[in-house]
Amino acid sequence: MSVIDLARLSAYVDIPKRARLLLEKPEKEMSLRLSVRTGADEMLITDCFVVYYNTARGAAKGGIRMSAQASLEGTRRLAELMVWKTALTHIPFGGGKSGICLDPDELDSFEKSVVMQEYVHILKEDLLAGSYIPAPDMGTGPREMAIIFGELHIPQAVTGKPTSVGGLPGRREATGRGVATCAACAAPDMLGKPIGECTVAVQGFGNVGSHSAWFLAQQGARIVAASHITGGLYNARGIDVEQALARSPQETFDGLQGDAISNEDLLGLPVDVLIPAAAGGVITEEVAGRLRCKLIVEGANDPVTGQADEVLAEAGIVDVPDILANAGGVIASYVEWRNAKSGSFTSKKEVYDFIDQILSRAFERVIECASALGVPLRRAAQVLALQEVVTSMQERGWL
Ligand code: NAD
Domains of the chain: 26-167 (3.40.50.10860), 169-399 (3.40.50.720)
- CA-wise closest residue to 30 among 14, 51, 11, 57: 51
pTM beyond 0.75, yes or no: yes
Show the 3-state SS of 363-386: HHHHHHHHHHHCCCHHHHHHHHHH
* For ligand 1, mutation pick of 207, 212, 245 (most atoms within 8 Å of CB): 207
CA dihedral 55, 56, 59, 61 (to 10 degrees): -60
> Which residue has a Cα nearest atom 30 of ligand 1?
300
Cβ 328 under 6 angstroms from ligand 1: no
Per-residue pLDDT of 266-276, as tens digits, reads 999 999 999 99
Cβ-count burial 126-155 (b if 16+ within 10 Å, e if not):
bbeeebbbbbbbbbbbbebbbbbbebeeeb
Average per-residue pLDDT in the chain?
A: 97
User: Active site residue: 61, 85, 97, 294, which one?
Assistant: 97
Q: Who contacts 343 (Cβ-Cβ below 8 Å, separation ≥6)?
A: none
Question: Can you give the pLDDT at residue 39?
Answer: 87
Asked if residue 135 lies in contact with residue 64, where contact means CB atoms within 8 angstroms, the answer is: yes
Cβ 384 under 6 angstroms from ligand 1: no
Per-residue pLDDT of 135-156, as tens digits, reads 999 999 999 999 999 999 999 9
Largest CA distance in the chain: 65
Residue 121, sorted as left (phi over 0), alpha (psi -120 to 50) or beta, turns out to be alpha
294 has catalytic annotation = no
Q: Indicate which atom in ligand 1 lies nearest the CA of residue 248.
A: 9
* CA distances for 324 relative to 55, 126, 169, angstroms: 19, 28, 22
pLDDT along the chain (399 residues), means of 10: 92 97 97 94 96 98 97 97 98 98 96 97 97 95 97 97 96 96 97 98 97 98 97 98 95 96 97 96 97 98 95 96 98 98 96 98 98 97 98 97
Cβ 229 under 6 angstroms from ligand 1: yes
Cβ 98 under 6 angstroms from ligand 1: no
What's the CA gap between 250 and 189, in Å, rounded? 37
